[in-house]
Structure 1
């Protein structure tokens, strides 16, 4: 039996994640997931690939918005769900250019000071629809500021199998999944092409190609060589290292830790 063991939301792209017991599924993924993003002066996304110190920023969801904790200084920033500005800007998230809304000068200053990088915080409004990759999905499926798809699925058995090959085991947060499940064989997620969780139907559309972000310790922001060095030995396909399955969804509703994943054959 396959069962959900973790649900993770990453409100601000490339910042820390939040584990929740249940989550609402919207048209573009888990509610609040990657609806905010930091951009450089040219409007291009900023991620841990360029600024590993983003890992030291930990969000929390409150009744009115987000609170961001900068762990090294123990300072906090409150961000409302609805931006205070009416300023919009075209931003680049990978190959997509979409309209985003500036959050406000206080947030820009706070992030720039703590990261020592000139940046601004933007929010994805409801009016912005970012289409998933049409090479792998039909039209009408949307995502937020995630890398490309609304969900990433990983089985605990896959991480256990990887850790059996490593000198030092790594936590699941290196891979930033939205949905983690127990049960099944290692890399069971590779074969989950159609399944349900509760009343929500999901489709696995593309195995996830992993990058240098997986080598960044999410507690210290320090870079290493693992897990890419080890994964390259047995999870490489072409020039890509694969770990996890990208998903799209076909329904709206709610899912929870403990829900069963039921494959559709």
Structure 2
């Protein structure tokens, strides 16, 4: 199969893990993925991460990254402004099986999240001195760094994959959904439905030089795609639809959508919506 031309249809950044994302026209690529992606995380009183899986209302917390601060907004709440250059006490937190160094963001942020979500919570920021690596079983020789993502720097999906999912949803009498349900970082035009499953690398020529991304692991799916990002109401239609056709033998039959990716080349270079590149397929 020959290489195919792809185009970045959308970029998504999620500053606070499991809260709403932002869709910039252009964004910087850093060692851990898109800059500020999952740089902050909400934790419980034991320092363990919490997500929409436990607290669906996290979907209603909207984030904006400005030049000097992160702004958080939620229904019925005054906006919370956090300086990008400020942290408070060092701490240690747990995400999945990893316990890592982080910084607590202080009592005001903790109270804001606790009030809105109805549980005692704190907000933390990833310690840039901490090295948290993706699973080398999937990345091979590449040491892929992460902040608070589930385990890989980037998640890649395709517009055709979403279109295919929506055709199935509508055919079963359900409403179509937006890409926010799937929480990707890069959404690509030019691939067949779920064609990212078979892509080895994607290369972009940017103004600052080449960017090369390697797609290494299918993204297994939990209940979050079934949470409506506009209402935070959980459902089951998306999970049911995916279960009918997205069982992945590479993950022992787990339901997958999208591919986790690592950075081969291009740190400190920017990606932008509309940028074209080339996707090369692997033969396995």
Q: How far apart are the structure 2 equivalents of 1:260 and 1:84?
A: 38
Aligned to 2:185: 178
Q: How far apart are the structure 2 equivalents of 1:193 and 1:104?
A: 42
Q: In the TM superposition, what is the alpha-carbon distance from 1:99 to its structure 2 partner?
A: 0.3
Q: In the TM superposition, what is the alpha-carbon distance from 1:195 to its structure 2 partner?
A: 1.8
| DSSP-derived class of the 2:23 partner | strand
Q: Equivalent residues in 2 for 1:69-80 (5 A)? A: 69-70=73-74, 72-80=75-83
Q: Does 1:36 pair with 2:40?
A: yes
Q: Does 1:233 pair with 2:244?
A: yes
Q: Does 1:149 pair with 2:156?
A: no
Q: In the TM superposition, what is the alpha-carbon distance from 1:139 to its structure 2 partner?
A: 5.2
- What stretches of structure 1 of length at least 5 have no aligned partner? none
Aligned to 1:91: 93
Q: Does 1:260 pair with 2:276?
A: yes
Q: How far apart are the structure 1 equivalents of 2:9 and 2:87?
A: 36
Q: Does 1:136 pair with 2:152?
A: no
Asked if structure 1 preserves the Cα contact closer than 8 Å seen for 2:77 and 2:116, the reply is: no
Q: How far apart are the structure 2 equivalents of 1:77 and 1:61?
A: 12
Asked if structure 2 preserves the Cα contact closer than 8 Å seen for 1:153 and 1:246, the reply is: yes
Aligned to 2:108: 106
Asked if structure 2 preserves the Cα contact closer than 8 Å seen for 1:56 and 1:219, the reply is: yes
Please point out which of 50, 56, 59 is paired with 1:55.
59
Q: In the TM superposition, what is the alpha-carbon distance from 1:84 to its structure 2 partner?
A: 3.8
Q: How far apart are the structure 2 equivalents of 1:219 and 1:53?
A: 10
Q: How many residues align?
A: 263
State the Cα deviation string for residues 28-84 of structure 1 (Å, max 9, x = none). 0101100000100111001000000100100001111200001x2152100111234
Q: Does 1:215 pair with 2:226?
A: yes
Asked if structure 2 preserves the Cα contact closer than 8 Å seen for 1:100 and 1:125, the reply is: yes
Q: How far apart are the structure 2 equivalents of 1:118 and 1:139?
A: 38
TM-score by length of 1: 0.96
Asked if structure 2 preserves the Cα contact closer than 8 Å seen for 1:174 and 1:215, the reply is: yes
Please point out which of 176, 188, 191 is paired with 2:195.
188
- What stretches of structure 2 of length at least 5 have no aligned partner? none
Q: How far apart are the structure 2 equivalents of 1:194 and 1:84?
A: 36
Question: Where has structure 1 moved over 3 Å in runs of 4 or more?
Answer: none
Q: Does 1:164 pair with 2:171?
A: no
Q: How far apart are the structure 2 equivalents of 1:264 and 1:20?
A: 26
Asked if structure 1 preserves the Cα contact closer than 8 Å seen for 2:87 and 2:103, the reply is: no
CA RMSD of aligned residues (A): 1.2
Q: How far apart are the structure 1 equivalents of 2:71 and 2:63?
A: 6
Q: In the TM superposition, what is the alpha-carbon distance from 1:194 to its structure 2 partner?
A: 1.3
Q: In the TM superposition, what is the alpha-carbon distance from 1:215 to its structure 2 partner?
A: 0.3
| DSSP-derived class of the 1:142 partner | coil
